[in-house]
Amino acid sequence: MQEARNALQEVLPDLDRHTTDKSLEVAGHNWFLVGGSFDFQRVANQFKEKVDEASRVRMSDSASHPYSKERLGNPAL
């Protein structure tokens, strides 16, 4: 996995920042294969959980944005 991470870092110099702030995650083959077999439904569910988690983080981050719905509805924020 380190070889893949190194190759990705060559084209994405900010890889460490993206992985630290969890905007990008590098997953090994064990994320896709359990017991040596691929279960599409399990992988699809895990991917959906990751997307949902990222969406929650982005929503909480966006609440502090000057044009967020919360701030537009309350200029005192």
**Alpha-carbon span 29 to 33, nearest angstrom:** 6
What is the average per-residue pLDDT within 52-71? Answer: 62
| pLDDT attached to residue 2 | 86
**Alpha-carbon span 57 to 25, nearest angstrom:** 14
Which phi and psi (to 5°) does residue 74 adopt? Answer: -145, 90
pLDDT(14) > 70: yes
pLDDT(72) > 80: no
Share of the chain above pLDDT 90, in %: 19
